[in-house]
Amino acid sequence: MTWIGHSTALLQLGPVNVLTDPVWSERASPFQWLGPRRLMSPGLDFDALPPLDVVVLSHNHYDHLDATTVRRIAGRFPDTPWLCPLGLGELLHSFGVREVTERDWWQTFETSTFTATCAPAQHFSARWIGDRNDTLWCSWVIQADGARVFFGGDTALHPAFAEIGARLGAFDLVMLPIGAYEPRWFMRRVHMNPEDAVAAYRALVDGARAAPPCFAMHWGTFRLTDEPIEEPPMRFAQRWREAGLPASANWTLAHGETRRFRAT
């Protein structure tokens, strides 16, 4: 797994290359002259991307679904399938994507080389005034080459994490958001803080014989909320230790860093 930034990561599961919530633009915004600007450049140059077997999207917010990036990927990899929650197909087609599959929670997309299951999340959707919650949001479980990965997308802490783990685990890698959480009175309904991320991880892997790596994402790329930009990983590491979880399983990466994991 290579962290490109925010919730964008390249998963290389044996021969299968999976890209999550791709954003290469300078701003997470409908305009490139206004809106949250990158604090860190993408950890992988766009031209260095390998051929993609699938792109998965969690929802339609601009820091997760960027029109310019979608058009670039669609132009370079026109035959790559895109997986998204319900309602996003028409938008993706308008950006030039040829093959789009929409899924509701608990529905699966399967090929000869990988399987992806749409799973619950607690969030919301909107791109314009008046379209709030017109489309779905989700997490994904991806299986390929014997490995099983949970991609949390963008979410608050919710009771379905335990059900996801019971129905779709055991996981070899867990990818969870840890940033964009202050002010808490407002953000707690849509974003996890580090304490919530630890609780979500424990619910997802409950009963596992060994603690799979937990990749901490959704921090350090765009300034979206009020907490200090470096606070999420430090606070996450502290809560991780307090929970008695192994330090080796806390994957808090630098932009562009690659880590290898094994299927169990």
Residues 6+ apart with CB under 8 A from 12: 1, 2, 18, 50
> Residue 188 belongs to a domain with what CATH number?
3.60.15.10
46 and 71 in contact (C-beta within 8 Å)? no
Residue 99: count of CB within 10 angstroms of its CB: 14
- pLDDT for 192 equals 98
pLDDT at 168: 98
260 lies in some domain: no
Please give the average per-residue pLDDT across 149-154, as a whole number: 98
pTM of the predicted structure, to 2 decimals:
0.97
Helical spans, DSSP H, in 33-183? 67-76, 89-94, 160-168
**Before 170, cis peptide (omega within 30)?**
yes
In a domain, 253, yes or no: no
Task: Quick: pLDDT tens for 63-87.
Answer: 999 999 999 999 999 999 999 999 9
Domain that holds residue 58: 2-248
Indicate the burial class of 149 (C-beta count within 10 angstroms; 0-12, 13-18, 19 or more): buried
Whether 264 is covered by a domain: the verdict is: no
Residue 128 has pLDDT above 90, yes or no: no
Q: Rounded mean pLDDT of 163-174?
A: 97
Average pLDDT, the chain: 97
Give yes or no for residue 179 having a pLDDT over 80: yes
Give the tokens for residue 202. 């424990």
| Mean pLDDT (whole number) for 48-53 | 98
From the DSSP assignment, how many helices (H) and strands (E) are in the chain?
6, 13
Tens digits of per-residue pLDDT, 76-117? 999 999 999 999 999 999 999 999 999 999 999 999 999 999
Q: Confidence class of residue 250 from pLDDT cuts 50, 70 and 90? A: very high
Give residue 243's pLDDT: 97
pLDDT in tens, 193-247: 999 999 999 999 998 888 999 999 999 999 999 999 999 999 999 999 999 999 9
Contact between 175 and 217 (Cβ < 8 Å): yes
pLDDT at 263: 93
Model confidence at 31: pLDDT above 90: no
pLDDT at site 209: 84
Burial of 180 (0-12, 13-18, 19+ CB in 10 A): buried
Domain count, the chain: 1
The side-by-side arrangement of strands in the sheet containing 100-103 is: 2-5, 8-13, 16-20, 54-56, 82-85, 100-103
> Does residue 92 lie within any of the structural domains?
yes
